[in-house]
Structure 1
């Protein structure tokens, strides 16, 4: 009998030890998830570059550390979600990783500064049909070229802000018509100069995306007879550019002028301002806007003016002729801003062989 009691006690101690070990692991995992979530939400997080819209500055396959401190951390708008997953995953069907039954108002902690012209910014995509909550929309990365209150214009691809021409990023890219004497290009040369051939319009004529830093060297090649910029002429209307209205004969290379809305700015309501800012008034500032009997109604009340509630930004890609940006979907509201990229911690080239995939020259590289 005594042996049975000792045996039972020993078994209980073993079970307790197993439970304690399991509990320790569970506690450690929960603690790690909580700390990681706080760090990701308040300090910094990692993002990947999904497209070529920022090439030569940032490359497809770059992995970035993005600071939340610079502009202030945005508090969760959709607080219930699965940590570390994108807002949607595709497991045979589209599955949301969040529950939008609870939505909190937009609030941002104080930051080290504000978004400035020339900053590269990560933000939630403001275009298309806005089905997901703000903080669950796809992440984009672009360069800010217009801050609240700025008057922006594009003249023959040159960006003019408040009457002054903005300098292009050192490795900005744009398209050129390149004519040769018929002698073929050396593929290695084009690869070394980060030049992309987008098309061929004759035996000797090509359309190429050329970084500013590579222009002079390409022009000095013996087989080059001419290089001319690809520019859509002023007055040629492109219905794909914002605000997709017949009132404005704008295109990607000749655009504006347009004023970036700032909090507290009041506009008169008319056909032109509604075309430019109607999306902002309705979708981003959550108003009901109607036009009837020659009058405008906001939230069922007659209105002749509107005062903006938020600040907005104008974002463009450094790869100007291969970028979906504010020229196509308009302004970025302040509540969409996520943070400022600080450095590239890894860069993967998916087109290379397994032993050459890592772009070592970009690892731990600061972002300008």
Structure 2
């Protein structure tokens, strides 16, 4: 068993190494599921086979020792220097391959359940959601807000709240489902959404907007026009780059499902959101690859609702809830 366990750890090291170096995409949900199942197998084997066998061996050792002492006492020998305490402890000791498998099961299982059904941490990798979320923000995502989903396959089994305009949502990137993206919901199933000349309209009504002081981006060392925007009941900030054209370059648009529901022009894009799908945009409007480029997000791709920054090691003042 020690050899099998060593091989399993070697396979895990190879998988994580290839993932870290970019040789292949990893699936953390699947990895956690596999680790939970494997450590559960070891935990059950330890509880119902290996631990009882060690305890039986320790009991047998004690019985043999008692029998030997009784035999020696019958011969009049009472001074016996045999101490089996250390030997008994060695027999009861859990071997390393069980300590590093069965011993880890409760922790891995707790992480798997919490991450699958309650909250999942994410790190913001890009500036597409500036100024709401900055690169390096560590956020928490509520996994049950939009319903309970089975881990790995992401199948909804219990419904809860429906996504609303203005929600900041994490979802599986439609182009590559192994990646998670974060954007803001701007249009719901059945909505007609238009982003024309950098103005957002939903169902023919312009989204409320008011200008704020310019935003200075420390990464690009540039100032951007900043606005307060209200989507549904959510008021948040957006950035607009006045030097960028309003249209989406044709060569940058993917051939996505239901693309025929979108009309592209030199002024921007107009889309009719199909049933069971959502139109997503980044708050950094001219520096975000979103639904304008790769299409609609289906309901079965939803991961959860982002709601709090729990840490930013470069700026502790970032910690807190956000819209």
* Coarse TM-score class (shorter-chain normalised): 0.5 to 0.7
Q: Distance in 2 between matches of 1:28 and 1:198?
A: 48
Equivalent residue number for residue 112 of structure 2: 37
Equivalent residue number for residue 50 of structure 1: 125
Equivalent residue number for residue 161 of structure 1: 202
Question: 2:268 matched to 1:254?
Answer: yes
CA gap of 1:168–1:116, structure 2 versus 1, over 3 A, is: farther
Contact 1:62–1:346 (Cα < 8 Å) also in 2 = yes
- Structure 2: runs of 5 or more not aligned: 1-67, 73-79, 229-239
Equivalent residue number for residue 312 of structure 1: 277
Equivalent residue number for residue 211 of structure 1: 226
Equivalent residue number for residue 141 of structure 2: 66
- Structure number having the greater helix percentage: 2
CA gap of 1:169–1:19, structure 2 versus 1, over 3 A, is: farther
Query: For each residue in 1:228-249, what CA deviation from the matched residue of structure 2 results, as whole angstroms up to 9, or x when unmatched?
Result: 9346367x96332355999954
CA gap of 1:327–1:6, structure 2 versus 1, over 3 A, is: farther
CA gap of 1:167–1:17, structure 2 versus 1, over 3 A, is: farther
How many residues are paired up?
Answer: 234
Equivalent residue number for residue 231 of structure 2: none
CA gap of 1:345–1:328, structure 2 versus 1, over 3 A, is: same
Structure number with greater Rg is: 2
CA gap of 1:123–1:228, structure 2 versus 1, over 3 A, is: closer
Contact 1:159–1:165 (Cα < 8 Å) also in 2 = yes
Q: Distance in 1 between matches of 2:207 and 2:110?
A: 41
Following superposition, the deviation at residue 167 of structure 1 comes to 3.4
Equivalent residue number for residue 240 of structure 1: 252
Contact 1:344–1:367 (Cα < 8 Å) also in 2 = yes
Output the aligned Cα RMSD: 3.8
Question: 2:162 matched to 1:114?
Answer: yes
Give me the TM-score of the superposition, normalised by structure 2: 0.61
Give me the TM-score of the superposition, normalised by structure 1: 0.55
Following superposition, the deviation at residue 366 of structure 1 comes to 0.4
Query: For each residue in 1:6-42, what CA deviation from the matched residue of structure 2 results, as whole angstroms up to 9, or x when unmatched?
Result: 7474343121342399967855521111011001000
Map 1:307-346; keep pairs closer than 5 Å: 311-346=276-311
Query: For each residue in 1:104-126, what CA deviation from the matched residue of structure 2 results, as whole angstroms up to 9, or x when unmatched?
Result: xx521324311111110001111
- Structure 1: runs of 5 or more not aligned: 79-105, 174-189, 200-206, 214-226, 263-310, 349-356
Q: Distance in 2 between matches of 1:110 and 1:170?
A: 41
Contact 2:216–2:223 (Cα < 8 Å) also in 1 = no
Equivalent residue number for residue 138 of structure 1: 179
Greater RCO (Cα-Cα under 8 Å, separation 6 or more): 1
